[in-house]
Structure 1
């Protein structure tokens, strides 16, 4: 419980705090690493400082500030006495860090990936390291002091390479929150499939599957992504079953600059969303099944806008293997999924017996039609012959050749 009365203390005492809290005697010690807690969030970095050890060291809440900004009230913490021991809370925004008065340091570093992870084929992957500190004003007055200067250092590591895979859906889209012990710049990674180029109508897969060569439009989006980074798809591919690291059967839609002829990448590395489309196909191993399933996967990264453009502009002049992981599989990953999508089976051709029977029936119909036409023309010819004979005989009669023939 906190004493609600702030007691004035003598300046020369060992504990020159402005207010006294009922802290346990276990905190009457020099502050150490266990007194600071850091949570690396997608939009904010949240920090907690043990108020009791800071108080024992001779400092109040207003003495500590983020990154040396002691004159900015927004860089000072707020006291929370609802927990034991009480803490000083700080919140540092990640987004728009250049406009942040308590600005921290952000550095992009190259790292060697985990050899057993999904990016094991990369020579290097990248991460963003945000660092900062909370300190007290330096002791610069008098000859001696019984107060120690406090300096709490913190850092957050954010991976820039992500794996999107294996969240199984039949149609439309899926959204799965992404986080890990280090932190992530992304609240949510979302992969969605549509049936139109405007990405307005979610794809609905009929029970019989999609017709082959149907256009499928794919959207990969990072929700609440800081404006410092864009989404760049390194590698997108399809598999007949759910993804695993050792899987070898896959169809590549595109790998970096190399794009399948029936795939089109319409937007990549330009914002927090990337788009591509492809034509529906069947995996040959599903030839005995009524429908063929397709699982979609993408390896994506976050990169600064200029870095994204640098990677994309290098298409056509880069070597097959480079230090940069663009276009290659690369240990940090966040997972989401789209799939399976189903494509329809190829219709069976008529068998030989049915085909022969149809032809024979058609031939019989032709023979009957020919017989009827023949009878009609034969009857007409006979009638013409009779008429011709009658006219000939009548002419002969009038000429006197047959005087009694038509009496």
Structure 2
């Protein structure tokens, strides 16, 4: 008599155990299981790669995991944790049951991403910068995983779940379209191959105190007026500094205009341009004198557009990315 029921259970074990346990529920046609928005017709399976979504933000990295396959695999949301940190409540996610399917959300602050064992690796390689010139280009890669705990036994009939994730952050951008006829311009930059969104401001100031922004008169600025400019990062993790790689001007708002005048590029610098701070904080500062483009000789005013190819680098990496002679010049100015 004992062989009959045991044999039937063994046959059921030949299929995924959760499918056998939930088969009667699927017949009801409902899209709820244990109060969660799960449809057994779609989610009675082991987790797959498509069950995790990664959103790489400027301050927060957000992970969303389809909770239904996790539930059907025999686990709860409390079993999921970042990088094996199952004993730390800060490394667990929270359930959002207002979506279909139900998801578990993990929110990772980039300012404290190492606290739950996530990894940040910055790689440097020779390649074209944001303008196309050959330069040292950096990529920041944040990676980690979410898993379930191993049982304190020799064997287990539950699958071990593992979700790996990574975000690549390009660390160089072209800040452009700031013209001497306006006080400031802000742009949002998103790399098409990554997900790092950063807001950089290119600001113009009255003097070297960098307090009051420049107000340009209707008639324009007088030639040889000293203009103080800054590239400033906002809403950005404090580990990153701003490094201006190449700043130049064009007579139009097109950064790819064939006609341009370089203020500084690599070791070369316009004689009237002074770089005060670069790669040491989240603000890069320089000054130049107002000029006109000769092509505007028949116009009352010559409009000048300012563009800066800007890198984000860690404090220890910035000197390595800066041309040697350029770095020496800035060190002299700091003294």
Greater fraction strand: 2
Q: Is the contact between residue 96 and residue 226 of structure 1 (CA under 8 Å) also seen in structure 2?
A: no
Secondary structure at the counterpart of residue 318 of structure 2: helix
CA drift at 1:103? 2.9
Query: Aligned-pair distance for 1:131?
Result: 0.4
Q: 1:123 to 1:202 in 2, by over 3 A?
A: closer
Matched-pair contact (CA < 8 Å) for 2:173–2:189:
no
Which structure: larger Rg? 1
> Which residue pairs with 1:108 in the alignment?
122
1:8-67 CA deviation, whole Å, 9 max, x = no partner?
A: xxxx99449995635212111121111001100111100011110101111110111011
Matches within 5 A, 1:338-349: none
Contact kept in structure 1, 2:181 and 2:303, CA below 8 Å: no
Q: Please, what TM-score do these two structures have when normalized by structure 2?
A: 0.82
What's the CA shift string for 1:360-397, capped at 9, x where partnerless? xxxxxxxxxxxxxxxxxxxxxxxxxxxxxxxxxxxxxx
| Counterpart residue number, 2:30 | none
Q: 1:21 — aligned with what?
A: 36
Partner of 2:308: 298
Deviations 1:68-125 (A, max 9, x none): 1000001011011000110101011111434x2x1311111235757xx844332652
Are the structure 2 counterparts of residues 206 and 21 from structure 1 closer, same or farther at C-alpha, using a change threshold of 3 Å?
closer
Q: Decide whether the 8 Å contact of 2:233 with 2:282 is kept in 1.
A: yes
**2:59 aligns with one of 43, 67, 76:** 43
The residue that corresponds to 2:47 in the other structure is 31
CA distance in 1, matches of 2:220, 2:250: 16
Q: Which has the higher contact order (CA 8 A, sep 6+)?
A: 1
SS at structure 2 position matched to 1:62: helix
Q: Does 2:254 match 1:243?
A: yes
Matched, 1:199 2:210: yes
- Distance in 1 between residues matched to 2:37 and 2:132, nearest whole Å: 52
Root mean square deviation, CA, Å: 2.6
Closer, same or farther: CA 287–132 of 1 in aligned 2, 3 Å: same
Indicate if the aligned counterparts of 1:96 and 1:227 stay in contact, CA closer than 8 A.
no
Cross-structure match for 1:402: none
The alpha-carbon distance between structure 1 residues 158 and 307, as it changes in their structure 2 partners (threshold 3 A), is same
Q: 2:138 aligns with which of 126, 136, 150?
A: 126
| Distance in 1 of aligned mates of 2:117 and 2:147 | 14
By how many angstroms is 1:278 displaced?
0.5
| In structure 1, C-alpha distance between the alignment counterparts of 2:322 and 2:134, rounded to whole Å | 18
Counterpart of 2:72 in structure 1 is 56
Residue in 2 aligned with 1:159?
A: 170
Query: Alignment length, in residue pairs?
Result: 300
Separation of aligned partners in 1, 2:217 and 2:38: 65
SS for the counterpart of 1:170 is coil
CA distance in 1 between partners of 2:82 and 2:180 (Å):
45
After the TM superposition, list the runs of 4 or more consecutive aligned residues in structure 1 that deviate by more than 4 angstroms.
Answer: 15-20, 111-114
Closer/same/farther in 2, CA of residues 123 and 236 from structure 1, 3 Å limit:
closer
Query: How far is 1:244 from its partner?
Result: 3.8
Please list, as runs of the form range in 1=range in 2, the aligned pairs for 1:67-146 lying within 5 A after superposition: 67-98=83-114, 100=115, 102-110=116-124, 118-122=130-134, 125-139=137-151, 141-143=153-155, 145-146=156-157
SS in structure 2 at match of 1:134: strand
